[in-house]
Amino acid sequence: DAGVIQSPRHEVTEMGQEVTLRCKPISGHNSLFWYRQTMMRGLELLIYFNNNVPIDDSGMPEDRFSAKMPNASFSTLKIQPSEPRDSAVYFCASSSQAGAGNEQFFGPGTRLTVL
């Protein structure tokens, strides 16, 4: 398996622009997670889905952030409009409820820079 796939790997945009991050989970996994990592706040959970349904979005910082999972093999995290403080590395992870201890498999991340 190719693991969790994220695109793009790097994104540089200007303040006010819309940004869309994409994630393809491991085939057969039915839980998907979006995290954000910054130097100041470390790794934070933004939102997670079980069976394509959003379960907890309490970590989403504000209404500018939205996430969707239209099917079991694809998810997006959108920021509109983007701001410089959104600059971070965004990780997507997936897991299978059938897996021992529900370990999560992380993608390589998308490094977002908002100028």
Partner 1 sequence: DAKTTQPNSMESNEEEPVHLPCNHSTISGTDYIHWYRQLPSQGPEYVIHGLTSNVNNRMASLAIAEDRKSSTLILHRATLRDAAVYYCILRDVGRGGSADGLTFGKGTHLIIQP
Q: Which residues are near partner 1 by CB under 8 A?
A: 4, 31, 33, 35, 42-45, 48, 50, 55-56, 59, 91, 93, 95, 97, 100-109
Whichever of 12 and 15 has its CB closer to partner 1, that residue is 12
If the CB atoms of residues 81 and 108 are measured against partner 1, the closer one turns out to be 108
d(CA 57, CA 63): 11
Specify the DSSP class assigned to residue 87: -
CA atoms within 13 A on the CB side of 42: 0
* Least distance between partner 1 and beta carbon 81 (Å): 26
CB of 92 to partner 1, least distance (A): 9
CA–CA dist 81, 68 (Å, integer): 17
